[in-house]
Structure formats: C-alpha cells, structure tokens
Amino acid sequence: QLQLQESGPGLVKPSETLSLTCTVSGGSISSSSYYWGWIRQPPGKGLEWIGSIYYSGSTYYNPSLKSRVTISVDTSKNQFSLKLSSVTAADTAVYYCARLIRWQWPDYWGQGTLVTVSS
C-alpha cells in the first residue's frame, strides 16, 4: 500500500523559507507513470495547487507562487521536497504531498502537516 508522509518544521518565521519533505513508501518515486505534487489548504479554507515534479526532476509550478517555490526530488531516498521562500502569514496552511496519476489528478495523499507562519 502506497504511503506518503510529510515532515518538516511546524512553525516558520515571516520572511524565512518553509521547507518540507515527503517520504514515499510502498512504491517507487521513479515510476514513469506518476508525478508528485504539493497542495496546501489554509485553515478553514479550500485547496490550492502549489506544483509538481517528475522523477527526472522536471518541475511545474503554480504561476502565482512560482517566484517563491522550489520542488526537488531525491530518488535515492524516495523523497521529494518543497521550499517556499519569503513566507508571510498568508502561507499558513496544511501542506499535503500527493501522487499524481500521470501529471493530472492526485490519487494518494499524505496526511498533511500544518505549517504556521508567525514570529
């Protein structure tokens, strides 16, 4: 059974960089059938697409976040990561990692991790 698990600091200061890692177990991140993505959800609000990555390292970002987002992959560790720079309170959210069928819809999601931006 595929599992995804987000990890990283739950509290980040304004103007700093948010860093999260998603560890994939029960399947290979190097499969040619899937992309891997990040999605976030501010408390009490809806879902926002952040971006995705292929095992080769090709990345695709939400244009509204593109200037601040970096997604990377480490196939040797079966992990992919998210960095979001210059964070503000508006970046406070539950961050989910997910597997995408091809490059399209997420079918497996991590449990999510709450990141709060506050001094």
Partner 1 sequence: EIVMTQSPATLSVSPGERATLSCRASQSVSSNLAWYQQKPGQAPRLLIYGASTRATGIPARFSGSGSGTEFTLTISSLQSEDFAVYYCQQYNNWPLYTFGQGTKLEIK
Measured from the Cβ of residue 11, the count of other Cβ atoms closer than 10 Å reads 11
CB of 94 to partner 1, least distance (A): 9
C-alpha distance from residue 22 to each of 73, 80, 83, 88, 109 (Å):
9, 5, 12, 22, 10
Q: Which residues pair with 18 in a beta bridge?
A: 84
From candidates 80, 110, 115, 117, binder to partner 1 by CB under 8 A: 110
CB of 28 to partner 1, least distance (A): 19
From candidates 48, 55, 70, 78, binder to partner 1 by CB under 8 A: 48
55 binds partner 1 (CB under 8 A): no
116 binds partner 1 (CB under 8 A): no
AA identity, residue 40: R
C-alpha distance from residue 66 to each of 22, 26, 39, 55 (Å):
19, 30, 14, 19
* Greatest C-alpha distance within the chain: 41
73-102 footprint of partner 1 as x/- string (CB under 8 A): -----------------------x----x-
From candidates 60, 78, 83, 85, binder to partner 1 by CB under 8 A: 60
Binding site for partner 1 (CB under 8 A): 46-49, 51-52, 60-63, 96, 101, 103-107, 109-112
